[in-house]
Amino acid sequence: MTSTSQLVDRGHPVSVGVGHLRDRVALLAQGPVWSMRDVEVRQAVLDLSEVTSMLAALEITLLAHAHRTGAVEEVGATSVAAWWAHESRLTPVEAHRRVTHAVAVEDHHPEVGAALAAGGLRPEQARVVVDAVDALPAEVDPVVVDQARAHLLAEAAHHDAKALRVLGKRVLDVVAPEIGEAQLAQQLDAEEKAAEAVQRLTMHDDGHGRTYGRFTLPTWKADLLRTALHALASPRREGGRGSTPEGMGNAFGDYVQRFPTEKLPDAGGVSATVVVTMDVTTLMGGLKAASLDTGTMISPGLARQLACKAGVIPVVLGGGSQVLDVGRKRRFHTTTQRIALATRDGGCTTIGCTRPPSWCEAHHEVPWSRGGGTSVDDDRLLCSRHHHLAHHPAYEMTHHPSRKVSFTRRE
């Protein structure tokens, strides 16, 4: 009777070798390492890095071959990547990325595969070299392309993948200086425009006093933010906690509090700042909670603390939520009235409209042209659209007991 191992040994040398390698590595992984000397541990780790590169080269060869020959068609798979992801539990994205890379190396960058097989190039570096060379303009002479690849492979002996990626963007400056600067300028301009187009910021309030956020910024803007936060997080500064996640988080909170609001554009007639609304008893030391103009409730202690902050406007209410006093950042009566309107109305007073105060305009119930005055009692907030309707002859504005209004087209 023929054993399974004998059948395997009669297969292709690569299949047989990979099978033996798997078994051997499995045994090595189970072996104790406590008796290894430090020098042996260090050398084994370095040797394993070379082995990993060699295995990556073999993986590239096998994947590219499977792609070319349609090796997965007989099992009904739509592609090598789809079959591999399913059988090995890789994500489809990762499987597709590695198959695409394998085909690119085999078809266009054999030098990269050879460097991997020799053990001196790391898989991450190989991807960087391939990406950098493939990103060169189509009009670049093939000889220059080969020189660029050779230069990056040589630099890989001295730089990790991250540093190599930076060198890859400037590779033409070395191998073809006459076109390198123009190509880099075009590349950076395209990257900057693409980064500007995808700027995003999302914030989520968990309902327990914490807000989580994610943002996407062009790297140069992120560098500005990081530099400012590092300055606030510096351990040499009083209160600085270093560049740990906690330290940077505290620095970010300080940055938000310290940002000079006078440099921000006006929003709805008032400089973009925070309004703290509190009861007079809270200001005098009471225990009643206060609120920000965003609707966030805060403790009385924090309210009193913020009332003393520059760039924060305290609004003090008496009985029946009547505005008793509005602190000023500057001596403009209209600004004070706008703050009072925002505090009372909370946004556009049209039924069903949710525009915030900063998006609204002050509307005179009695038009100024007809002798109307400017007062909090007689004014209301309307967003730009509804303010336009309020003065449009084709629409009628109806007042409701709730201090809300609605609009209907005249017949």
* Cα–Cα distance for residue pair 266/71, rounded to 1 Å: 65
pLDDT beneath 70, residues of the chain? 1-10, 180-185, 188, 236, 239, 259-336, 367-375
Please check whether residues 19 and 93 belong to one and the same domain.
Answer: no
Domain count across the chain: 5
What is the pLDDT, as a whole number, of residue 379? 81
Where a domain ends, among 142, 168, 195? 195
| Model pLDDT, residue 290 | 65
Residues 216 and 191 in one domain: no
Provide the pLDDT for residue 89. Answer: 93
Residues 292 and 167 in one domain: no
The pLDDT of residue 350 is: 94
CA atoms within 13 A on the CB side of 140: 25
d(CA 198, CA 186): 19
Query: Domain residues for 306?
Result: 264-344
- Whether 52 and 152 share a structural domain: yes
Determine the pLDDT at residue 330: 35
346, amino acid identity: G
Tell me the two tokens of residue 295: 């609707």
Picking from 244, 259, 274, the residue at the C-terminal end of a domain is 259
Domain shared by 63 and 180, yes or no: yes
Residues 6+ apart with CB under 8 A from 397: 389, 390, 405, 406, 407
User: Can you list the alpha helix ranges (DSSP code H) found in 287-381?
Assistant: 300-306, 333-345
CA–CA gap between residue 372 and residue 374 (Å, rounded)? 7
For 26, half-sphere exposure in the C-beta direction (CA atoms, 13 angstrom radius) is 6
- Dihedral sign (CA 122, 123, 125, 130): positive
Domain shared by 223 and 208, yes or no: yes
* Alpha carbon distance 219, 227 (integer Å): 12
Residues 168, 75 within the same domain:
yes
The reply to whether 180 and 60 lie within a common domain is yes
Q: Enter the pTM of the model.
A: 0.49
Distance, CA of 134 to CA of 106 (rounded, Å): 14
Whether residues 354 and 327 fall in one domain: no
Shared domain check, 191 and 138: yes
Are both 242 and 365 inside the same structural domain? no
Residues 334 and 361 in one domain: no
Question: Could you say which of 286, 310, 344 is where a domain stops?
Answer: 344
Give the model's pLDDT for residue 2.
Answer: 43
Long-range contacts (CB closer than 8 Å, 24 or more residues apart) made by 221-227: 225/255
Place of tokens 């539990």: 89
Q: Are 407 and 350 in contact (CB under 8 A)?
A: yes
